[in-house]
Amino acid sequence: MNKTVSLEDAERILADASPEQCFWVNNGPIIKNLSEMANALACMKDEIFSHHVNKEKNDFGNWVRDVLKDEELSNNIIGVRSKEKILKKVQSRLKKLEIKTRKKRNIAA
């Protein structure tokens, strides 16, 4: 399910969440965007990750869907239980979205 994302959607997905919609990592940082999520996942302890992702829930997938409104990434990570796999999917999505927004900046320059 790899559909092309619009420039407007890419910019919205990459933007910071409002303060009341930030992701509060258990005993960890407050995440306000997809880039911060990737950074947090990269250094997150397994027990903290397991608090947010287990057989009952996937807080990261839900936050991506409900707050960042990125249905594609949410669908790709919601069933994943591996921190490393989620991190790879988030990094891949970030790269695609950043390329999309970079093209706009180059055109505007």
Answer whether residue 103 is part of any domain: yes
Answer whether residue 1 is part of any domain: no
Answer whether residue 48 is part of any domain: yes
Answer whether residue 20 is part of any domain: yes
Answer whether residue 35 is part of any domain: yes
6-58: per-residue pLDDT in tens? 999 999 999 999 999 999 999 889 999 999 999 999 999 999 999 999 999 99
Q: How many domains does the chain contain in total?
A: 1
Answer whether residue 93 is part of any domain: yes
> 81 and 87 in contact (C-beta within 8 Å)?
no
Q: What domain range is 104 assigned to?
A: 7-108
Answer whether residue 37 is part of any domain: yes
- Amino acid at site 86: I
Backbone dihedral angles phi then psi of residue 58, each to the nearest 5 degrees? -140, 90
Answer whether residue 2 is part of any domain: no
69-93: per-residue pLDDT in tens? 999 999 999 999 999 999 999 999 9
- State the DSSP H helix or E strand holding residue 31, giving kind and residue range, or none if neither: strand 30-31
